[in-house]
C-alpha cells in the first residue's frame, strides 16, 4: 500500500508556504494535492527584518518560529481538507522551515520552525532541520533537492539539467552516466523581488514584465558579476547573506533607470545560471526549470537565448508543476529519514559522506 507524506516549503523569496500531499510506493512518488498560503504582510516584514542582527533577536526568532509553525499547520489543514484525507492517514510531514541564517562556513544554518509545535498542531509526525547534519559532516547543507531530482527526473538514456529558481537559483546535473552534481548558482528571484518591492511596492515582477520594459546596463552587470561567489568552485551554497539589496545599492551610481536595474538583475540571474549549465552540465541537451522563476517569461527567454542548442522547458514537461517540486522534495526527504536512508549527495554539498538527515518529532 502507498504511504502518504506531506512536504512543506517556504523559500528565500518569502512569498509564502507551499504544501503538497504525496503518495509513496516503492520508487514512485506521486502528487495528490497542493495548497498555498501567502505570508501576511506583517509576518513577512518581521521575517525580513530578522535577516539582520538587531535587538532581542533570540526572543523575536522564537516567537516567529511559533507563528510560522502555526501558519504551516494552517496549510496542512487546508491541504488535507482539499484531499479529503485525515491526519492519521499521513505518515509524516517533511518541513524545511524558514531560513533566516545560512552560514555553513561558521558551521551552522538556521531555519525557523518549532517542530514540536507543528506536530502538536497537525497531529502528524514532523521531520525537519534537514540541513544541519550535512553541515556537521563538513558540507554546505544545501542544495538538498538534487537527491530528489535524481530520484524523479534522471534518465538512463539522456543527460539532463534541472534548474530550480527560487530566491536563490541552483543547478542539478543529471548525467546519463556518472555522478549527480549540483550547487547554488547565485541569486534567483531574491534581488528581483527586493528591487520591485522597494521601487513599485509590488511583491514580485509578474511574468518579468517590468524587467522586459527596461534595458540591461552592461557596466552595472559587470560590477554585479564581480561578486566573489561567482568565482568559487562548487560545492557552494548562497543566501541573503551574499545577495541582498544592500549589496546592489553599493554598486549603483544613482543615475540608473529603475526598470533598467530590474532588467540587469534579471540578466544577472540568467547569465549565472547559463554559465553554470555550460560549465558543469555541458552534456545535457534538456534543461528543466522549476521554482517560482519558471513563471518569469522574461527570465526564461533570456535563459533560452543564452543556452542555444539546449531544449529549455519547465518541470511540467516531466509531470510535476514547477511550483510543487521543492515541497515534494521535502516530503521525499522525510521518507528517506524515516527509512534511515541518506538524503544528501556528498558530490553536491561537499559532506564527508552520505548522511541520514533531519530531526523527528513524533505525532
How many whole angstroms separate alpha carbon 247 and alpha carbon 235?
23
Q: Strand, coil or helix: what is 124?
A: coil
Residues 89 and 149 in one domain: no
Looking at residues 134-159, what average pLDDT do you find? 97
Residues 111 and 174 in one domain: no
Domain count along the chain: 2
Residues 188 and 273 in one domain: yes
Residues 185 and 279 in one domain: yes
How many other CB atoms are found less than 10 A from the CB of residue 247? 15
How many whole angstroms separate alpha carbon 286 and alpha carbon 188?
20
103, pLDDT greater than 80: yes
Contact 168, 239 (CB under 8 A): yes
11, pLDDT greater than 90: no
Q: Using the 8-state DSSP alphabet, how is residue 17 labeled?
A: E
pLDDT at 42: 93
Looking at residues 69-91, what average pLDDT do you find? 98
Q: What is the pLDDT of residues 109-122, one digit of tens each?
A: 999 999 999 999 99
Q: What is the pLDDT of residues 279-296, one digit of tens each?
A: 999 999 999 999 999 999
Looking at residues 203-232, what average pLDDT do you find? 97
Specify the length of the chain in residues: 363
Q: Which long-range contacts (CB under 8 A, 24 or more apart) does 78-83 make?
A: 78/19, 78/35, 78/37, 79/6, 79/19, 79/20, 79/21, 79/33, 79/34, 79/35, 80/21, 82/33, 82/34, 82/35, 83/21, 83/32, 83/33
| Domain enclosing residue 256, as ranges | 145-318
Residues 111 and 189 in one domain: no
Residues 279 and 162 in one domain: yes
CATH number of the domain to which 29 belongs: 3.30.420.40
> To 5 degrees, how large is the angle CA 258–CA 212–CA 184?
85
14, pLDDT greater than 90: no
How many other CB atoms are found less than 10 A from the CB of residue 50? 18
Q: What is the pLDDT of residues 295-341, one digit of tens each?
A: 999 999 999 999 999 999 999 999 999 999 999 999 999 999 999 99
Looking at residues 176-201, what average pLDDT do you find? 96
Residue with cell 515582477: 205
- C-alpha cell recorded at residue 215: 534595458
Q: Using the 8-state DSSP alphabet, how is residue 16 labeled?
A: E
Contact 320, 328 (CB under 8 A): yes
pTM of the model: 0.95
Contact 135, 103 (CB under 8 A): no
Residues 164 and 95 in one domain: no
Residues 299 and 152 in one domain: yes
Residues 152 and 251 in one domain: yes
228, pLDDT greater than 90: yes
**What percentage of residues in the chain have a pLDDT greater than 90?**
94
81, pLDDT greater than 80: yes
Q: How confident is the model at residue 231 (pLDDT cuts 50, 70, 90)?
A: very high
Residues 311 and 196 in one domain: yes
Q: How confident is the model at residue 53 (pLDDT cuts 50, 70, 90)?
A: confident
Of 256 and 49, more confident:
256
Residues 61 and 117 in one domain: yes
Residues 30 and 75 in one domain: yes
Mean pLDDT score of the chain: 96
How many whole angstroms separate alpha carbon 260 and alpha carbon 275?
22
Residue 99 makes CB contacts below 8 A (sequence gap 6+) with 11, 12, 109, 110, 111, 112, 239
Q: How confident is the model at residue 34 (pLDDT cuts 50, 70, 90)?
A: very high
pLDDT at 243: 96
Amino acid at each position: 500500500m502507498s504511504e502518504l507524506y506531506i512536504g512543506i516549503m517556504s523559500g528565500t523569496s518569502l512569498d509564502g508556504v507551499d504544501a503538497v500531499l504525496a503518495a509513496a510506493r516503492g520508487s514512485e512518488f506521486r502528487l495528490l494535492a497542493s495548497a498555498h498560503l501567502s505570508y501576511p504582510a506583517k509576518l513577512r516584514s518581521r521575517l525580513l527584518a530578522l535577516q539582520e542582527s538587531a535587538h532581542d533577536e533570540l526572543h523575536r526568532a522564537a516567537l516567529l518560529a511559533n507563528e510560522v509553525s502555526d501558519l504551516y499547520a494552517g496549510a496542512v489543514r487546508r491541504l488535507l481538507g482539499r484531499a479529503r484525507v485525515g491526519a492519521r492517514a499521513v505518515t509524516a510531514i517533511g518541513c524545511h522551515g524558514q531560513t533566516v541564517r545560512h552560514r555553513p562556513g561558521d558551521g551552522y544554518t538556521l531555519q525557523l520552525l518549532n517542530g514540536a509545535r507543528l506536530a502538536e498542531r497537525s497531529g502528524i509526525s514532523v521531520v525537519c532541520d534537514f540541513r544541519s547534519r550535512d553541515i556537521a559532516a563538513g558540507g554546505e547543507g544545501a542544495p538538498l533537492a538534487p537527491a530528489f531530482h535524481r530520484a524523479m527526473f534522471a534518465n538512463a538514456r539522456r543527460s539532463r539539467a534541472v534548474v530550480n529558481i527560487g530566491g536563490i537559483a541552483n543547478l542539478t546535473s543529471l548525467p546519463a552516466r556518472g555522478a549527480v552534481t549540483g550547487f547554488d548558482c547565485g541569486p534567483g528571484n531574491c534581488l528581483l523581488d527586493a528591487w520591485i518591492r522597494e521601487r513599485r511596492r509590488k511583491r514580485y515582477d509578474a511574468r518579468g514584465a517590468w524587467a522586459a520594459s527596461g534595458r540591461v546596463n552592461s557596466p552595472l552587470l559587470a560590477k554585479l558579476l564581480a561578486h566573489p561567489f561567482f568565482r568559487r568552485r562548487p560545492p557552494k551554497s548562497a543566501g541573503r547573506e551574499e545577495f541582498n539589496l544592500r549589496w546592489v545599492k553599493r554598486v549603483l551610481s544613482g543615475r540608473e533607470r529603475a526598470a533598467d536595474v530590474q532588467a540587469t538583475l534579471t540578466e544577472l540571474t540568467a547569465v549565472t545560471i547559463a554559465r553554470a549549465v555550460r560549465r558543469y552540465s555541458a552534456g545535457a541537451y534538456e534543461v528543466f526549470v522549476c521554482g517560482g522563476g519558471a513563471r518569469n517569461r522574461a527570465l526564461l527567454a533570456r535563459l533560452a537565448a543564452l543556452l542555444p542548442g539546449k531544449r529549455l522547458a519547465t518541470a511540467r514537461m516531466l509531470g510535476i508543476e514547477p511550483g510543487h517540486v521543492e515541497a515534494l522534495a521535502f516530503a521525499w526527504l522525510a521518507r528517506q529519514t524515516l527509512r534511515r536512508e541518506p538524503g544528501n549527495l556528498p558530490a553536491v554539498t561537499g559532506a564527508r559522506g552520505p548522511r541520514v538527515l533531519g530531526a523527528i518529532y513524533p505525532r
